[in-house]
Amino acid sequence: MILKSKYFYFKKALTDKFCDDVIKYGLEHKTKKATVRKVTNVSQGVTKKYRNSDIVFLDEEWIYKEIQPYVRRANEEAGWNFEWDWTEPAQFTIYGPNQFYNWHVDTSLPYDNPDNLNTHNKIRKLSVTVNLSNPKDYKGGHFEFDFRDYQDIKKCKPHRVKEINQRGSLIVFPSDLWHRVTPVTKGKRYSLVMWNLGYSFK
């Protein structure tokens, strides 16, 4: 499949109030250490070699209502036109000093969950990352892509996504793109991540 655009971004699309509300709401909940799902050769579980961050899942309509219009617009204007019909709970993520997420893709084998028809036999197709933080509040924590079609993460050449440096900016991209968040060196970086599901490509 040849994609017209690798990713689609919206600079400062979301208000400071929305960012403040998500951060406040996320911090009111108990966080847990992020895990890694089984994708290629990485097994599910907590592994600081690949990922070190604190997360909370937020299943809130007011969050979806604010962000989903941008997902639909990006899907159309980027020329992807992926079919999707469900969104997983949003992931509020905290990256403190020395925390990061190494090279990975968001998509994986289809969910095997017959008791939940919203996710069963579906895969992640479109990922969303929202920058909730003011860039002055942290250092490091850069969002980067590698666009080459292989799985040798040791040879990745990063493309730094500067378009979402500003608070309230968001990026939408196909879930099978390799990406990472580099280590935060100072302060805290708050972000919101969402995954949109559909049946496997034919």
Q: Is 126 exposed, middle or buried (CB count within 10 Å of its CB: 0-12, 13-18, 19+)?
A: buried
| Contact between residue 183 and residue 141 where contact means Cβ atoms under 8 Å apart | yes
User: Is 2 domain-assigned?
Assistant: no
Distances (CA, A) of 14 to 17, 72, 171: 8, 16, 12
Query: pLDDT tens digits for 51-103?
Result: 999 999 999 999 999 999 999 999 999 999 999 999 999 999 999 999 999 98
Q: Domain of 143: which CATH number?
A: 2.60.120.620
Q: How many domains does the chain have?
A: 1
User: Is 166 domain-assigned?
Assistant: no
What integer pLDDT is reported at residue 48 of this predicted model? 64
| Confidence at 151, pLDDT banded by 50, 70, 90 | low
Domain housing 139: 8-161+171-199
User: Is 1 domain-assigned?
Assistant: no
User: Is 3 domain-assigned?
Assistant: no
Q: Which of 132, 151, 149 is closest to 141 using CA atoms?
A: 132
What integer pLDDT is reported at residue 201 of this predicted model? 82
User: Is 131 domain-assigned?
Assistant: yes
Query: pLDDT tens digits for 98-145?
Result: 999 998 899 878 999 999 999 999 999 999 999 999 999 999 999 999
| Contact between residue 104 and residue 86 where contact means Cβ atoms under 8 Å apart | no
Note the pTM of the prediction, 2 decimals.
Answer: 0.90
Is the per-residue pLDDT at 23 higher than 80? yes
For residue 160, list its beta bridge partners: 144
Structural tokens at position 140: 């490091």
